[in-house]
């Protein structure tokens, strides 16, 4: 006898799009605030504040955005796990996401709080932006590939 478990998230057609809206809002908050600090590291705007000040001001918002993403994402995933984990784009997104979060709270955090703005800071900012753009592309393309 196979136990049929129905996912309450699939009980109404409105739940998935609502969750996806929350997922997109969380992505705007998390990746948006990360990008602002990366642009500051690149010297592209907000130069009236040090990188350390910008990073410290935005850190709580980044964390809130990531909590929203790490909650809404698995819920979206649970609506049809087989469709997602068998999709190489989803697997790539998860690998990039893990790398992006580790990089964000290690090398990039140290660089942003050091207040330095030389070549190394610019390289760190470019790596950060590339990783998060990869996560976002993974999120968008996983529905099409």
Residues that bind ligand HEM (CB under 6 A): 20, 23-24, 27, 30-31, 66, 69-70, 73-74, 76-77, 84, 97, 135-136, 139-140, 142-143
Q: Whose Cβ is closer to ligand HEM: residue 70's or residue 102's? A: 70
How far is residue 10's CA from residue 17's CA, in Å, rounded to a whole number?
Answer: 11
Cβ of residue 119: shortest distance to ligand HEM, in angstroms? 27
Of 64, 40, 63, 44, the residue nearest 114 (C-alpha): 40
Nearer to ligand HEM by Cβ, of 19 and 121: the residue is: 19
Give CA–CA dist 44/47, Å, rounded.
8
Whether the CB-CB separation of 46 and 39 falls below 8 Å is answered with yes
Nearest-angstrom CA–CA distance, 104 and 89: 22
CB of 75 to ligand HEM, least distance (A): 8
Nearer to ligand HEM, 50 or 79 (CB): 79
Residue closer to ligand HEM by CB (options 10, 49) is 10
């Amino acid at each position: 006898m196979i136990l049929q478990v129905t996912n309450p998230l699939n009980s109404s057609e409105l739940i998935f799009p609502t969750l996806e809206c929350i997922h997109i809002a969380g992505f705007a908050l998390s990746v948006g605030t990360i990008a602002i600090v990366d642009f500051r590291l690149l010297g592209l705007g907000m130069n009236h504040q040090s990188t350390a000040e910008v990073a410290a001001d935005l850190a709580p918002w980044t964390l809130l955005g990531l909590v929203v993403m790490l909650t809404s994402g698995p819920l979206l995933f649970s609506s049809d796990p087989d469709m997602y984990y068998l999709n190489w784009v989803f697997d790539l997104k998860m690998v990039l996401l893990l790398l992006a979060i580790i990089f964000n709270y290690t090398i990039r955090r140290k660089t942003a709080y050091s207040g330095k703005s030389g070549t190394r800071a610019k390289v760190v900012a470019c790596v950060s932006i590339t990783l998060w753009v990869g996560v976002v592309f993974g999120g968008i393309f996983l529905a099409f590939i």
